[in-house]
Structure 1
Amino acid sequence: MAARHFTTPLAMIKKYAKFALHRYRKLHLLGKLFIWMLLFFYMCMGVFIIVVTPSRIAQFMYDKTRLLAATRFGWLILLAALIGVSFPPLIGHTTLVTLGGFAYGMEGFFISAAGSLIGSALVFMILRLVFSKKLHTWSSQNQKWQALESVVTSKGLLLIILIRISPFPPWVYSNSLFASIEAVKLWQFVIATTCVFPKILLHTFIGNKMAELSDGDQRGHMDTRTKVLDVCFVIGGIIIAIFTSWTVYNLVQNHIRHLEGIPPEVDELAAEAIEDYDEEAPLLSPNEG
C-alpha cells in the first residue's frame, strides 16, 4: 500500500513561504522594490498601532465602515472590490470578506458570496477566452498538466470541488488554475465555487464579532461574559479556519494520490501539478510564450 501523504501545519506554512519567495524572485527590480516598500509600510503601521493604541484604531475603522454601510451603494463598492481582487495578481479576498462582516454584519455574507462568485466566474471566462490557444499548445507538451487534465476528466465534479475548497492554491490563483485546466467546465467551476461559501460565512462571522468589539459604545454596554464570549468567537473562528484549511489540504492531496482506477504515477503527477501550480500553470507564468 502506498504511503499516506500527510502535511503538517508547519509544512503548510513552509509551502506558503516557498511560494512567496518564488514569486518574489520572479519579480523585476521595481517589483522587488515595491515589496520592500510594502514591508516598510507594514512596519510603520505596526509602530503606529502601538502608539495610537488598537482600541482607537478599531473605533476609527468601525466608524468608517458604518459610513460605508450607510452609503446607498456602499454594498456595490464592496462587491466591485471583491470582483477586482479575484483577478491575479491582486490579493485581499479574505480581508474583504471579513470587512464585509465588519461593515454589514452577517448580511455581508450575501455581498461577499455574490462578489466572489461573479469575480471568479469572470476570471475563468476571460482567461479561458484570451489564452485558449496558448493553453492548448502548452498543456499538450507538459506531462504534469496532462496528468492533472486526465484525473479531472476522469473524476469530474467531486474532485473539482475538493481542489476548489483547498486553501492551496490561494483564492486568486485558484481562479487562474481552474481556467488553465481545459477539462473544467464553467458550470462545474461555478458549483465548486459555491462550496467555498461556508468559509466565506465563517470569515463574515469573524468580521461581525470584531465589529462588536471595536465599537466603544457597544463594548460599554457589554458585560464581561459577553466580551469574553465575543473574543472567544473571534479566536475560535480563526483557529477553525486554520485547522479546516490544513485538514482539507491534506485530504485533497491524499485523495488525488490514491484515486481508484488511476495509475499511481498519474496521481502523483497530478498532485505535483497542483502543488507547483505557480511554476507550472500556463496562465500564471510570465515566462511561457
Structure 2
Amino acid sequence: LRPFAEKVRDITAGWLIFVAVLFVISFPPLFGHELVALLAGVVYGLWIGFAVVAAGTFIGEIGTWFAFKRFLRKKAEKMERTNLTYGAMAKMCRDGGFWIVFVIRLSIVPSHMSTAVFSTCDVKFWYFAVSTFFTLPKQLILVYLGVLLVGGQSDFLVKFALFGVAGVVTVGAGVWIWYKMINIKKDLLAKQEQRKAKRA
C-alpha cells in the first residue's frame, strides 16, 4: 500500500478526489465509506486523513439531507405509514429533539440511512448539522486503521482503549435506540388496533 499512497499523495489537490467520492457514496443505497476512510489514512496519515474524511462526510450528509427532503419526501411519508420500523424511527426523531438525533448519529446506525429519516420527518436542520459535525470524530477510528496498515506503530494499550471506547459508545447508543424503538413500535401497534376497533 505504501507505493499507492505515495502516488496519490503526489497528485495536486488529490484530497479532493476523496472528498468527491465520499460525497457521492453518501447517497443510499451506495456504500464504501469505510474503505475510503481507510484509504485516506493510508495516503494522508491520521490528522490530514481525518480532515479529508470529515469534510467529505459532512458535505455528503448535507447533500443527502437536501436530496431526500426535496425529492423523496412523499415516498418517506408512505414508508412511515407502511413500515413499522421506519415509522418508529421517524416518530422517535420527530418527538425526541436534538439529543435523540445526536445519539442516533453517535450510534452504529448507518449515517446516510439516518440522514434520510431525519430529512423527511421534520427534524430541524440545525439539529442534524450540529449533531453530524460533533459526531465526526467517529471517522477517526477508520482513518487510524488505515494508518496502521502502512506500519504506523503505537502502544497496544492505546489501540485497545481507542477501539474499545469507540465500540462501547457506538454499540451502547445503538442498543439504547433499539430498546426505545421497541416501546414506540408497541405504542404504534396499540394505536393501530384502536383505529381498527373504532372502524369495526
In structure 1, the residue corresponding to 2:108 is in which secondary structure?
A: coil
* Runs (5+) with no aligned partner, structure 1: 1-60, 214-226, 258-263, 271-289
Aligned with 2:74 (options 133, 145, 164):
133
Q: Which amino acid aligns with 2:169?
A: T
Contact 1:206 1:237 in 2 (8 A): no
1:32-70 Cα offsets, whole Å, 9 max, x none, are xxxxxxxxxxxxxxxxxxxxxxxxxxxxx1111122122
1:90 is aligned to 30
1:15-164 superposed matches below 5 A: 61-105=1-45, 106-140=47-81, 145-164=86-105
Following superposition, the deviation at residue 145 of structure 1 comes to 4.8
Q: Which amino acid aligns with 1:117?
A: F
2:132 is aligned to 193
2:198 is aligned to none
Mapped partners of 1:243, 1:71: distance in 2? 38
Q: Percent identity?
A: 25
Following superposition, the deviation at residue 166 of structure 1 comes to 1.2
| 1:253 and 2:194 matched | no
Mapped partners of 1:202, 1:68: distance in 2? 21
Runs of 4+ aligned residues of structure 1 deviating over 6 Å after TM superposition are none
Contact 2:41 2:143 in 1 (8 A): yes
- TM-score of the superposed pair, with normalisation by structure 2: 0.77
1:63-86 Cα offsets, whole Å, 9 max, x none, are 111221221121000111111111
Mapped partners of 2:12, 2:91: distance in 1? 48
1:89-133 Cα offsets, whole Å, 9 max, x none, are 211112211221221111111111110011011011112211223
Mapped partners of 1:95, 1:233: distance in 2? 23
Mapped partners of 1:68, 1:107: distance in 2? 14
In structure 1, the residue corresponding to 2:150 is in which secondary structure?
A: helix
Mapped partners of 1:142, 1:206: distance in 2? 36
Mapped partners of 1:152, 1:171: distance in 2? 14
How many equivalent pairs are there? 187
Q: 1:79 to 1:235 in 2, by over 3 A?
A: same
Following superposition, the deviation at residue 246 of structure 1 comes to 1.9
Mapped partners of 1:244, 1:145: distance in 2? 23
Mapped partners of 1:77, 1:231: distance in 2? 33
- TM-score of the superposed pair, with normalisation by structure 1: 0.56
Q: Which structure shows the higher helix fraction?
A: 2
In structure 1, the residue corresponding to 2:126 is in which secondary structure?
A: helix
RMSD between aligned residues: 2.8
In structure 2, the residue corresponding to 1:212 is in which secondary structure?
A: coil
Q: Which amino acid aligns with 1:266?
A: I
